[in-house]
Structure formats: structure tokens, C-alpha cells
Amino acid sequence: MPFDDRTDAGRRLARRLGHLRDEDVVVLGLPRGGVPVAYEVAGALEAPLDVLVVRKLGVPWQPELAFGAIGEHGVRVLNQDVIDSCGLRDEGLADVERAERAELERRVARYRSGRARVSLAGCTALVVDDGLATGATAEAACRVVRGQGATRVVLAVPVGSVEAVARLSAVTDHVVCLETVADLGSVGAWYRDFTQTRDSEVIDLLTRATPTQTPPPAPGAVLFEPSRPGRRTDVPVGRAGAGVRSTGLSRRPSPARPARRSQGPVVREVRVPAGHVRLPARLVLPDAAPVVVVFAHGSGSGRHSPRNRYVADVLDRAGLGTLLLDLLTAEEEGDRRNVFDVALLADRLHAAATWLHAGTGLPVAFFGASTGAAAALEAAAAPGADIRAIVSRGGRPDLATPAALARVRAPTLFVVGSLDSMVLSLNRLAADRLRCEHRLAVVPGATHLFEEPGTLAMAAELARDWFTTHLARPDTGHRRPA
């Protein structure tokens, strides 16, 4: 049954997808031809519409053979089997990714026109294209959105080949295809009008979708105004002689100039002073937040880690503030010894917590992953530390010194995958050395990176519940001096 055009295909596809109306869905159109189809689907489901820009990473001498794919905000998915079988070296991989990343950013800048990407954390990602021939681009897209934090991935197309639909079923939670054809030929043959979609049409559809699909304001979220040109955010701006050093993190707007309400959680990029360096960080601070959770990344990861950003989004939705920061500078990351220098990481984390508390007046909690968990425990044990609670996901708390573990007073939760047997044993050993309230939570079916469907969501929910439960208890953590 041929389709009149992409609009007709989108309307028909939307009728098949009506069961998703009650889910937390984000509709993602693959540019360019998938966007007109996705526009109709998003309108029918009353769901946010966004564009999903991905780039396949092709083997240099055989570009049609993909060894991976990249998406926005540093998301990268690699096929290690292809890399090994082709004998690809790190420098060759980096060259391909560098070129494709530049093209991806160019297209994103053109299509978004300043609009922020719709967060996929905790959502069903509904990926829409105008058809599946080989399905290579759709497969890359589905793998990328999984890396961006989607808990469920559904692919929907008007028409596709039997082979492509079968292959995509293995990398998604569900594939919806109106017409599955053994001998597809070309996708365009199934449309009476298959005129090429222009970039301007993509931009127009995204612009038209935005006003009616912007989520309502988040309760209490404050939009931070950018720093004025020439003014550093860490220089004194208080009353003369008051001896106050402003961090630029005040939670309350000036009475003479009410803050504008945001259309959802507002992200602010800041730089955290830590000794002789300033560490780039991503801050989300709702107006009514009872705490700020500082993320301690490990094993060379940073503030762009899709897993930690997913957890941070879950905490932000629960009304908790979050700070994701890089504990090492770009130069320091070049020396792998720094990645495992727990003392250095702990000092940086302690400095960040002190700076954050001074600027917001809020208590601070820690979320650590891998070596970052050891750093969080060491920092919480430092003299004068006032940490409200700690959560470790797949962490290496055994790398903290026994003396530090014995000094920790903040209630501590260890979250480990049941299939991560070595790390599970190490967490049990570390837990035995703690003298504070603690718990070990084992997530069934999860490996070290919590890549299995639903496991990262479970870890995030455990963290959220641990923080919110212990924040309600005034006797937890270190007491401030009277």
C-alpha cells in the first residue's frame, strides 16, 4: 500500500503508535526525511519532537562498513568485533571520529538553531524514519539514544525490508513497521511523492513543534543569568569590607529583578576553583533543592559521562541539585597515573564541596563511580568535611584507605551489579570497614557499566531514594560545629 507522501505516512504510523500516548515519550526524527514523518507522530501523541543527528564511523578503506556511531554530547558507540577484525588502530579511529564529529556538530547547529536537546533520561525514545532499506543509520541512531539515557527504545517506520526489521529488532525494545517487504527495492518506491526533504523544512517543522510541546515550568527552578563580560564569578562582589567571596551561585534572585522561570531544569556551566586549577562543571540547582549532589567520576570519565548524566537527570527530577565536574584537567588526563591518584581526586572533590556549600548555603552529598567512589569516601573523611550522604555505583571503595573508611560518618550506599563479581567482593570488603550507616544493594543482571536494559534506571532510583531518605534525617552526616 503506497503512501501519498511523508505526511500521509506519519499520520498512518501515528495511528499504530497510539498505545504510547500514556508513556513518557520523546519522538526523534532522523534527518532529513524522517523529520516530516516524526512531526505527525509527535503531534498525534502530544509528545516532544526533536531531531536525532548521528554519524556512522566507517572503516577508512571501506566507509560503508561501520565500526561505530557517534551522537551529541560526546556519546560514542563502538563495535569492537569490527575494530578487531579490521585491525584498526587508535589513531585511525580518532581521525575518523574527529572528522565525523565536526560534521555532526555542523548539522546539529543548523537544525537546532539554538534550541536545547530534549533530555532522554528515563524516557521512551521513539526513533522515526521514512523507511528502512539497510537500516544502518537507524541502528546507529538506536544505539546512540540508548547511550543518551533512554530506558526504552522503539523504532517506527512506514516501510522496511524484512532483513532490516529483523536486525533492528535485536538492538531495540520494539520495532513498528507498517509495511514489511521481502523485496523492498528502494524506500522511495513506496511513496507517490518522495521529494527530497530540505534542511529548511526540517528547521521549520522543529520550530513549529516547539511552542506547543515545551514542558511546563519545573517548580522552583531558577534561570541563572550569565556572568557579565569581564567579571570573574569567583571575585569578591559583596559589601565593601564584608570579606565575602562570591561564587556566583546564589539561589535567590535580586528583589529588584525577579528571575525568569525556566521551561524545565536549567543547566549552568561553571568553573570550580580547586587549588591552582579551575575545573569545568555542569550545575543544576532547583530553587527548592535541599542538597547538591556532587558527582565524582572515575577511570578517566568526566562530566559528559552518559551514565552519570542519566543519574543526574533522575536526581534533578526529584528536586535535588547536581554538580557534574571533571576532577582532572585535559592535560592531567593524559597521564593515566592521575586517574588512579585517589588522594588527588579526593582533594579536588573536597575543594568542590567546600566551594559549592559556600556559594549556595546547601548541604552537599556525593555520588561516586569507579575510582570516584574511593575519592568520595576519602573526601567525606577529611577534617571539617560535612557530607550528608554518599552513593557509589559500580565503585572501587576498596581503593580508599582503611583509616578513611573508618572515619566516614555519612550514610553510604554501595550499588553493584550482580554479574560484576570481582567489584562486588571488593565492595563487601570495604563495607566491612565502615563504621557509619551503610548498605550494599545488588542490582540483578547488571554488569560493571550497568548497560543491561533497566539496570541503570534501577541504580538511579536507589540513589534517589537514598539521598531523599537521609536528607530528611537531621542526625545524619557530620554535625556542624555549634
Residue 119: other Cβ atoms inside 10 A: 22
The pLDDT assigned to 75 comes to 67
Q: Which residues contact 411 (CB under 8 A, 6 or more apart)?
A: 389, 390, 436, 437, 438, 466, 470, 476, 477
Give φ, ψ of 439 to 5 degrees: -150, 145
Q: pTM here?
A: 0.48
Q: Which long-range contacts (CB under 8 A, 24 or more apart) does 214-220 make?
A: 214/263, 214/264, 215/48, 215/263, 215/264, 216/263, 217/261, 217/262, 217/263, 217/264, 218/262, 218/264, 218/265, 218/286, 219/286, 219/288, 219/319, 220/286, 220/287, 220/288, 220/289, 220/319
The pLDDT assigned to 215 comes to 40
The pLDDT assigned to 439 comes to 92
The pLDDT assigned to 256 comes to 30
The pLDDT assigned to 299 comes to 56
The pLDDT assigned to 1 comes to 63
What are the CA-CA distances from residue 301 to residues 102, 120, 382 (Å)?
22, 20, 24
The pLDDT assigned to 167 comes to 85
pLDDT digits (tens, 9 = 90+) for 410-446: 999 999 998 988 899 999 999 999 999 999 999 988 8
Question: Low-confidence residues of the chain, pLDDT below 70?
Answer: 1, 64, 73, 75, 210-267, 298-302, 472-482
Q: Which residues contact 341 (CB under 8 A, 6 or more apart)?
A: none
pLDDT digits (tens, 9 = 90+) for 86-131: 888 888 888 888 888 888 888 888 887 777 778 787 789 999 999 9
Could you tell me the end-to-end alpha-carbon distance of the chain, in angstroms, rounded to an integer? 77
